[in-house]
Each structure stands twice: as C-alpha cells, then as structure tokens.
C-alpha cells in the first residue's frame, strides 16, 4: 500500500512539474529551484510533513522533499541548540545526500567519459 501512495504522490509532483515545463519558458533548473523552495516553505509551516506521513517516499524523493529536509534539519537543531541551529541545521539531514552527490559524482567523473 505504501508503494502505491509513493508512486501516486511522486508521480503527481513530477506531472505537475511537467505541466509547468511544457506551458512556460522556465528551464529545468528554474523548476528544480522552485520545487525545492516550495518544499522548504511548506515544511516551515508544517504542511509538508503531514503530506509525507501518507505519501512516504513520494514526498521524500522529489526535490521538494530535499527542501523540506533542509528545514527539518534547521528546526530540529533549533530545538537542540537555539539560534545556532538555524546555521548548523541546513546540512543536518541533507549533508548525507550532498556529500554522497559529491563523492559519487567525482568518482563517476574519474571512472567514465561522457558520451557525445
């Protein structure tokens, strides 16, 4: 059942992005940034977590979930440290993913040549 909700929720977010992409002049970079910001803002108001409770990976895996993770890190560090948490929290959860992207991205660049 959680696989079905993940499929439907994740698919719906991507379909929404596709509608925006096909009907505006925005580039994929603009859309990625917009969805990340939307996830962060909705996360700050507690809306995204409620969505994630039922959508599972369908909410976590799109970049909006990544934006939400930035805010979740800040809020959990805020609780632990006070104001310093606003500055340390951004990579509390996402740091794992960002470092993975750098390590694996660098590794792939060393191992493989781009196809033309």
Q: In the window 43-102, what residues touch other proteins (CB under 8 A)?
A: 43-45, 56-58, 60-67, 69-76, 78-79, 82-83, 86, 89-90, 92-102
Contact code string over 24-43 relative to other proteins, x by CB under 8 A: ----xx-xxx-xxx-xxx-x
- The nearer residue to other proteins, 2 or 50, going by C-beta atoms, is 2
- CA angle at residue 53 from 1 to 78, to 5 degrees? 155
> Could you count the other beta carbons within 10 Å of the beta carbon of residue 34?
16
Nearest to 68 by CA among 57, 81, 80: 57
Q: Shortest approach of other proteins to residue 7 CB, angstroms?
A: 4
Query: Alpha carbon of 65 to those of 27, 72, 95, 97: distances in Å?
Result: 20, 10, 14, 12
Of 24, 50, 54, 104, the residue at the interface with other proteins (CB under 8 A) is 104
Of 2, 24, 50, 54, the residue at the interface with other proteins (CB under 8 A) is 2
Of 12, 24, 50, 54, the residue at the interface with other proteins (CB under 8 A) is 12
Task: Give the integer Cα–Cα distance in Å for 75 and 111.
Answer: 39
């Amino acid at each position: 059942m959680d696989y079905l909700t993940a499929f439907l929720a994740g698919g719906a977010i991507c379909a929404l992005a596709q509608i925006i992409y096909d009907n505006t002049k925005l580039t994929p970079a603009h859309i990625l940034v917009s969805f990340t910001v939307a996830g962060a803002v909705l996360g700050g108001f507690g809306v995204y977590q409620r969505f994630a409770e039922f959508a599972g990976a369908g909410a976590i895996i799109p970049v909006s979930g990544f934006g939400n993770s930035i805010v979740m890190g800040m809020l959990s560090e805020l609780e632990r440290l006070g104001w310093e948490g606003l500055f340390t929290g951004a990579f509390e959860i996402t740091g794992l993913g960002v470092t993975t992207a750098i390590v694996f991205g660098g590794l792939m660049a060393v191992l493989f040549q781009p196809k033309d």
